[in-house]
Amino acid sequence: MPTSDPCLRIEGLIKDFGPVPAHDGKMVRVLNGVDFTAHQGAVTALLGANGAGKTTTLECAQGLQRPDGGLVHLLGRTPHNAGPALRSRVGIMLQDGGLPPGSKPLPLLRHIAKMYKSPRSVDELAERLGITRFADTGIRRLSGGQKQRLALATALIGNPEVLFLDEPSAGLDPQSRQVVFDLIAEERANGLGIILTTHLMEDAQRLADYVYIIDAGRTVAQGTVSELTSGPNKRESRDLVFDAPPGLIFELPEPLTIAENTPGRYTVTGIISPTQLAQLSAVWEATGVLPHSISMVPRSLEDVFLDLSGRTIS
Amino acid sequence: MNAPASLPRRILAHGAYETTVMLRNGEQLVLAIILPLLALIGLSVTPLLDGFGDTRINVATPGVLALCAMSTAFTGQGIATGFDRRYGVLRFLSTTPLGKAGLIYGKAIAVVCVLAIQVIIISTVAAFMGWRPDPGGIPAAILLILLGAAAFTALGLLVAGTFRPEATLAVTNLLWILLAAAGGILIPASELPQGVQPYVEILPSSALGEGLRGALGNGSLDILPMITLVVWAAAASIAAIKWFKWS
């Protein structure tokens, strides 16, 4: 990680919503101690299942919501109700865009560019993101992916120092996804601090330098992708996946764990040595099971998430 | 380090943007041009306004200009802002350096631009129909229209910022019809039953209608309608700033 001052620092963030009728009219604590730090020139991802508090965390960081406790510093300032000066240094791509449905892409982008003293070239950015191909279609008639690219363009047009992306690859076809990912990598190399949320492990694994995992409103793990996916004692741990008749129960020695995620497909986690592999094969021998197929796979962020929260992310 | 464009530049840019949005909207244009023209024709071919002035068109035109200010500033901007809020457009704009001042003054500029177009078209058509305003009352009339636009824009933003968009649609349209029919805007409040007159006279619609009829009819500069409009504009602005929800 770079050692410079963080562009975003969140400590012990608390946020209550409500009063909620479904909870006897009481307040509900949706964030209960989120820690998160992001630096310039790096992509920092916020991972979590739906409802874990990703978007609320992001909104507090962006200043769109007022935190009920904890500390939030964006470029060294408190972002809540930020004025134009801070807004001009921060690019925000909202999850549902909020693009005015009655406008057209290119005029909107030109309009937003006028809000900045020294914006990027509208034409160049529109060309880069393929917006010129639908420049004169009304925004209400654009596809989800087209809106997504336009929203990214409006976030980048002001040459920000920090860029927030909420689920950046949602609705994108593989080609536009590649364009967007290349652009993110380029902006990262230019020194932008990029903060993104995603529930797609693949995106986080491809893009992120550093990952924070939140669950039930708290930060439960953080690290680089390789730190998070390596085993408890920091050696590369792998999963072993084998196929056998469904519904079998295996008793494995510590620290191995087993799960039958789909019927007949078993995943064993925690294998870090050939000895443990031998122990597993001893269990097969004892139960008289001969797997149809066996493969070793590196642990993914998905597995890490499953371990931490006991459920899948998507 | 990037910086925002200066506030005047942001306000002007947003004013121009909101103006094109308003003018491109078909339903809005019907509300802005066709309805006032229909009202103008309707009031000059029926005997509704007989007895209030020298000619029907001289009494009808100031009222129709007041109606324009009310429909553009209150109904038009209220509904547009309500749906901007629903679609997250206000939220999106709040992530840019536009700022609250940029948004509010930008919308006000758009209202004034559209209103200027309406006034030119309606006045021209009315002049062909025989309207002869008192030239001495024109500066006062312009001031009254601007005050009316301010009061009705603030009221429209207040409704849009506190009600759901569907409710905003219903409330602004209903009030528009009620005020147009019995709010002293087209038909002088003195025509209404004695019991409701004092209440109608303190409405912004009546203040604007009466003020314009006085200024353009005989060049009279009545201060009371102006004060009424200033009070409405101030009260509605304070309430809008206090209760307006951006998302």
Cβ–Cβ contact B94 with A under 8 A: yes
Shortest CB distance from A84 goes to which of B24, B97, B247?
B97
Q: What is the mean pLDDT of residues A48-57?
A: 87
Residue B106: its chain A contacts at CB < 8 A?
Answer: none
**How many Å lie between the alpha carbon of A118 and the closest alpha carbon of chain B?**
7
DSSP alpha helix (H) spans, chain B: 7-24, 26-29, 35-45, 56-70, 77-86, 89-94, 99-128, 138-162, 165-182, 197-201, 204-218, 223-243
Q: Percentage of chain B with pLDDT > 70?
A: 99
Per residue in A176-198, pLDDT (tens digit) is 888 889 999 999 999 999 999 98
Shortest CB distance from A85 goes to which of B3, B24, B87?
B3
**Which pLDDT belongs to residue B1?**
73
Cβ–Cβ contact B88 with A under 8 A: yes
Tell me whether residue A189 is exposed, middle or buried, using C-beta atoms within 10 angstroms of its C-beta: 0 to 12, 13 to 18, 19 or more: exposed
Band of pLDDT at residue B149, cut at 50, 70 and 90: very high
Per residue in A132-149, pLDDT (tens digit) is 999 989 999 998 889 999
Contact A62 B95 (CB under 8 A): yes
Q: What is the mean pLDDT of residues B169-190?
A: 88
Per residue in B37-80, pLDDT (tens digit) is 999 999 888 888 777 778 889 989 999 999 999 999 998 888 88
Q: What value does the mean pLDDT of chain A take?
A: 87
Give the list of residues 6+ apart from residue A302 with CB closer than 8 angstroms, or none.
A201, A312, A313
**How many Å lie between the alpha carbon of B3 and the closest alpha carbon of chain A?**
5
Contact A87 B95 (CB under 8 A): yes
Cβ–Cβ contact B14 with A under 8 A: yes
Cβ–Cβ contact B24 with A under 8 A: yes
**Which pLDDT belongs to residue A185?**
93
Contact B89 A100 (CB under 8 A): yes
Provide the token pair at B50.
């007989």
Contact A117 B5 (CB under 8 A): yes
**How many Å lie between the alpha carbon of B13 and the closest alpha carbon of chain A?**
7
Closest CA to A79 of A5, A14, A10, A17: A10
**For residue B130, what are the CA distances in angstroms to B55, B60, B214?**
9, 11, 18
Sheet holding A265-271, edge to edge: A257-262, A265-271, A238-243, A293-298
Residue A102: its chain B contacts at CB < 8 A?
Answer: 21, 24-25
The Cα–Cα gap between A217 and A180 comes to 29
Cβ–Cβ contact B17 with A under 8 A: yes
**How many Å lie between the alpha carbon of B69 and the closest alpha carbon of chain A?**
23
Band of pLDDT at residue A312, cut at 50, 70 and 90: low
pLDDT at residue B157 greater than cutoff 80: yes
- Between residues B230 and A267, which one has the greater pLDDT? B230
pLDDT at residue A313 greater than cutoff 70: no
Per residue in A255-283, pLDDT (tens digit) is 788 888 788 888 888 776 788 888 888 88
Cβ–Cβ contact B3 with A under 8 A: yes
Q: Percentage of chain A with pLDDT > 90?
A: 45
**Which pLDDT belongs to residue A7?**
94
Q: Which stretch, A153-167, A240-254, B87-101, has highest mean pLDDT?
A: A153-167
Residue A84: its chain B contacts at CB < 8 A?
Answer: 4, 7, 10, 97-99, 102
Contact B99, B13 (CB under 8 A): no
Q: Which of A114, A150, A165 to mutate to test the interface with B (most CBs of B within 10 A)?
A: A114
> What is the secondary structure of B75-110 as a DSSP string?
IIHHHHHHHHHHTTHHHHHHTSTTHHHHHHHHHHHH
**How many Å lie between the alpha carbon of B98 and the closest alpha carbon of chain A?**
6
User: Which residue of chain B is at minimal alpha-carbon distance from A151?
Assistant: B92
**How many Å lie between the alpha carbon of A103 and the closest alpha carbon of chain B?**
7
Q: What is the mean pLDDT of residues B149-170?
A: 90
Per residue in A197-256, pLDDT (tens digit) is 987 778 888 899 999 999 889 998 898 887 887 655 445 567 788 998 888 888 888 778
Band of pLDDT at residue B222, cut at 50, 70 and 90: confident
**Which pLDDT belongs to residue A233?**
43
CA A141 to chain centre: 28
Q: Percentage of chain A with pLDDT > 70?
A: 93
Per residue in A294-305, pLDDT (tens digit) is 887 767 777 777
Q: Which of A110, A117, A190 to mutate to test the interface with B (most CBs of B within 10 A)?
A: A117
pLDDT at residue B154 greater than cutoff 60: yes
What number of C-beta contacts closer than 8 Å exist between A and B?
95
Per residue in B11-34, pLDDT (tens digit) is 999 999 999 988 887 777 777 888
Band of pLDDT at residue A70, cut at 50, 70 and 90: very high
So what's the ipTM on this one? 0.82
Contact B4 A117 (CB under 8 A): yes
pLDDT at residue A1 greater than cutoff 80: no
Sheet holding A42-47, edge to edge: A90-93, A162-166, A193-198, A42-47, A210-215, A218-223
**How many Å lie between the alpha carbon of B7 and the closest alpha carbon of chain A?**
9
Per residue in A109-130, pLDDT (tens digit) is 999 999 999 999 999 999 999 9
Band of pLDDT at residue A72, cut at 50, 70 and 90: very high
- State the amino acid at position A261 in one-letter form: N
Cβ–Cβ contact B8 with A under 8 A: no
Task: Collect all residues from A whose CB is shorter than 8 A from any CB in B.
Answer: 62, 64, 83-85, 87-90, 92, 94, 96-103, 107, 111-112, 114-118, 154-155, 158-161
User: Which residue of chain B is at minimal alpha-carbon distance from A62?
Assistant: B95
Provide the token pair at B48.
């509704």
Q: Percentage of chain B with pLDDT > 90?
A: 51
